[in-house]
Amino acid sequence: MEIDPAASGAVLKRERVRDAILELIEVRRPGDAIPSERTLCAELGVSRPTLRAAVDELVAAGLLVREHGRGMFVAAEKITQELISDRNAFGVPPAGGVWTSRLLEFRTLPAGARVGRRLRMSPAAEIRYVARLRLVDGSPMAIEHLHVPAALVPDLTSEELERGDLYEHFRDRHGVQVSEAVQSIEPTVVTRAEADLLDVPELSPALLFERLTTDTGDRPVEYVHSLYRGDRYRIVSRLALGPRAARPAASEGHHPGIPPGNFASGGPVGFSTRGVVQNGP
């Protein structure tokens, strides 16, 4: 599959706009206004359609509210219920096929306030920012945006990001052993540029994953948010309401949002998954 440079550029620009607006949201309280579209376009140096695409995504995610004639406001806080389970109680259908990646962007830049908070590092500290298209048997499945502290992976290469399992590279080449991830999942729709990359119609349903991964010392090593095709995934949770007889462990397969492959040395995925179900007010 050839990547359309225009579609790739539009996705990356919208991503930067989205992050800038999220910064505004996180320092305000529910009900507070954010600057107008005209002001934001001028401050961020982007066109009105690019800004609106990012705002539409945040409105659909329940983080912003538009009020006709008044402007845009921070939405009320969501009610969050955590489903905490052991490795055999929360599962998703395995995704078969051969997983590969195509790099859209790979650069070093300051973490910034928002990503810095998540990675527990200074906003001025450097991170490796990676945008990549994930494919299965050559078919596009997801767009990933990864943020990794540069000090942890100073010699991270583009080849590592395109070939093999990234967490195995972390362990074998950089001495970083991932241990646990906390991940949220929300429904959304794809923009035109995202649709072009994912080979689906515009406004198709998608799943937005946000994940913070820590190592065996509880040190954040990766902050990721990914857009997965909604026509290829569903989420299944199993809730234990009482004791039951032991049963053989099932094959884990691939968890959407988490790269397929081994996490622990010489074994399958070895950390518990926390699925965060977020309902609007």
Residue 140: pLDDT band with limits 50, 70, 90:
very high
How confident is the model at residue 37, as a pLDDT? 94
Per-residue pLDDT for 202 more than 80? Answer: yes
- Indicate the pairing of strand 273-279 with strand 79-84: antiparallel
SS3 assignment, position 37:
helix
How confident is the model at residue 6, as a pLDDT? 80
How confident is the model at residue 249, as a pLDDT? 55
The per-residue pLDDT of the chain, averaged, comes to 82
- Indicate the pairing of strand 178-189 with strand 273-279: parallel
Per-residue pLDDT for 158 more than 50? Answer: yes
At how many degrees (to 10) do helices 112-119 and 5-26 cross?
80
Per-residue pLDDT for 254 more than 50? Answer: yes
Mean pLDDT of 29-54: 94
How confident is the model at residue 115, as a pLDDT? 96
170-190 pLDDT, tens per residue? 999 999 999 998 888 888 899
Q: How far is CA 181 from CA 135, 187, 215, 230, in A?
A: 22, 20, 9, 22
More confident site: 44 or 246: 44
